[in-house]
Structure 1
Amino acid sequence: MDTQTLLPSLYISHGSPMTALDAGEAGTFWRRLGPAITATFGAPRAILAVSAHSLTREPVLLAAPRHEAIYDFSGFPDALYQLRYDAPGAPALAGRVAELLRAAGLPVHTEPAGGMDHGIWTPLRSMFPRADIPVLPLAWPPMWSPAQLFRLGQVLAPLAAEGVLVMGSGAITHNLRLFASGRGEVDAPEYPQSAAFRTWVEQQARSGGWPALLDYRATAPHAAYMHPTDEHWLPFYVAAGAAEANGAQARGVRLHSSVTYGHLGMDAYAFGATAPQLAAALEAEPAPA
């Protein structure tokens, strides 16, 4: 296998739904990310999306022939609810993924259900605005440990050679209780705890520090403060595991670093042998007008 043709896997911080209306730094990055992927590897054949907002007791593949945006939020401007992102589904891919999971002894269910939560459609609307790439949402159990979710990702690793982009969507830091602290401005100065956690993740991911990452609750600075519940962080492990092809150790390349409201991190990572290629392509990609 030519490892230069393998799609890297991604972990994206999707942030507030308002990013779909007011792009900010992360939205601008997403608009560059999609074209950089296509220019470097060709357009993905499909996208397997693992979002913090699609949670189940056991893995469930949403294998509808078509998906629409789900507005799984409230209290936002009316204009946000008018945005659409209708994408084809991937029923055939659902069969392939179910086969991989069952062969590994993992539970899996397939439902002919459709819909993409905002953790999926918000970034994809900027990355691939034509909505012409089939999407397969994979709902997952938030009670699984980082090691179990890393293993889930490892089972998905063959998809990289089949043109399937594995995308985890969550938030590098996610403590929504901090919105009550009075820092309501999107460009508020960053909390030191957020900066420390994001820096630690980058260092560990870059060096392949998986023992520490898998035990992040005990080893990362301010882990519980930045993630009182960790469903927005855990898709990181699925994305990282999906890059462990042919015994190669998954190392993460941070593609984007920013923070909103002082504490909601918007970092994005690529994993796998070709992650540095994607990072280089992004550096060369001109900013969108």
Structure 2
Amino acid sequence: MTTTSRLPTYFISHGGGPWPWMKKEMGPTYDKLEASLADMPRQIGRTPAAILMVSAHWEEPAFTVMGNPRPPMIYDYGGFPAHTYQVHYDAPGSPELARRVQSLLEAAGLPAALDAERGFDHGTFSPMAAIYPKAEVPVVQLSLRRGLDPAEHIALGRAIAPLRDENVLIVGSGLSYHNLRNFGPQARDVSKAFDDWLDGAVVRTAPQQRIEQLLHWSAAPAARIAHPREEHLIPLMVAVGAAEGEAGERIYHEDAFMGGISVSSFRFGAASA
């Protein structure tokens, strides 16, 4: 792959289900999130060779990379309008990048596998519809590892960090607050408490201390209310591990999302624009 200047990494809040295809039903609910995602190409200042997306919606026994050159769609949601089960995001995959990721993981001593059939889940295709709506940039998904150990996923980020110098954009896709049983106005205070802690840990803490805070994220205020199960937070560990010594910046925040919750997205490393 071509070597060029280093790209930043991202942890994005990806929203709910197929929201880019539900603007009539959702109204302005996603306008601010959509604008933040659409601004990412401006921030990086060029078109990446490919995107490596670590989605909260894929877990495997080993870190598994998607090797399908033409990824199909995985409609991994329920209860949405019928037309949202026909949507397409037709970005190509990249078997070359998949093999490169697998080799980096193996070199780091991490368990790695390749899945030649896997398609895009909504943790990838929904935000990508806002980031690159023309689907012109190849996209490869990389799974979480079952057990969701923060240290393992920080190590994953360290292992794939060289991709940043190869014009590959690393994106962790989750949600900074994810408790579907506690949404809306009643979650205002607890989501704010955790979001404030998260911003402090990844933006207002020196990079050298950031890892230690994230390893013990479950001790944060309202942590287990914000994330009864942490699969939507763990992609953050990958983005941080891949930019370990670099500053973080909050690139998206609102405190009344979906009727009252605080949510955020972050960039690690400098923007080019």
TM-score norm. by structure 1 comes to 0.84
- Give the equivalent residue in structure 2 for 1:284: none
1:17 paired residue number: 17
Q: Give me the whole-angstrom Cα distance separating, in 2, the residues matched to 1:217 and 1:104.
A: 27
Q: Check whether the contact 1:11–1:239 (CA below 8 A) recurs between aligned residues.
A: yes
Q: How many residues align?
A: 259
How far did 1:201 drift? Answer: 0.8
Structure 1 residue aligned with 2:116? 112
CA distance in 2 between partners of 1:221 and 1:105 (Å): 34
Alpha-carbon separation, structure 2, partners of 1:72 and 1:140: 16
CA-based RMSD: 2.0
User: What residue number does 2:250 align with?
Assistant: 254
Q: How does 1:84-163 map to 2 (within 5 A)?
A: 84-163=88-167
SS at match of 2:182: helix
In 2, the alpha carbon distance for the partners of 1:122 and 1:266 equals 17
Partner of residue 226, structure 1 = 226
Q: Report deviation, 1:82.
A: 3.2
The 8 Å contact of residues 12 and 169 in structure 1, kept in 2 or not, is answered as: yes
Which residue of 57, 67, 71 maps to 2:75?
71
d(CA) in 1 for partners of 2:229, 2:188: 18
- The separation in 1 between residues aligned to 2:119 and 2:158, in whole angstroms, is 25
What is the Cα deviation at residue 25 of structure 1? 1.4
Which protein is richer in strand relative to its size? 2
Aligned-partner Cα distance in 1 for 2:116–2:18: 29
- The verdict on how the C-alpha distance between 1:264 and 1:80 changes in structure 2, with shifts beyond 3 A counting, is farther
Give the distance between the partners of 1:173 and 1:88, measured in 2 at CA. Answer: 30
**Residue 211 of structure 1 aligns with which residue?**
212
Q: Distance in 2 between matches of 1:103 and 1:236?
A: 22
Residues 69, 117 of structure 1: 8 Å contact kept? yes
* Equivalent residue, structure 1, for 2:193: 196
Q: What code does the residue aligned with 1:253 have?
A: E
| Structure 2: gaps (5+ residues) | 24-29
1:78: how far off?
2.1
Match of 1:169 among 165, 168, 173: 173
Tell whether the 8 Å contact from 2:50 to 2:137 is kept in structure 1 after alignment. yes
Distance 1:173 1:115, change over 3 A: same
Q: For residue 91 of structure 1, what is the amino acid of its counterpart?
A: P
Q: Distance in 2 between matches of 1:159 and 1:264?
A: 34
Aligned AA for 1:29?
A: S
Q: Percent identity?
A: 38
* Contact persistence 1:173–1:263 (CA under 8 A): no
2:55 corresponds, among 45, 51, 54, to 51
Equivalent AA in structure 1 for residue 211 of structure 2: W
Structure 1 pair 10–152 and aligned structure 2 pair: CA distance change class (3 A): same
The alpha carbon displacement at 1:143 in A equals: 0.7
Greater than 6 Å deviation, 4+ residue runs: none
Q: Which amino acid aligns with 1:168?
A: G
Contact 1:174/1:264 (<8 A) preserved: no
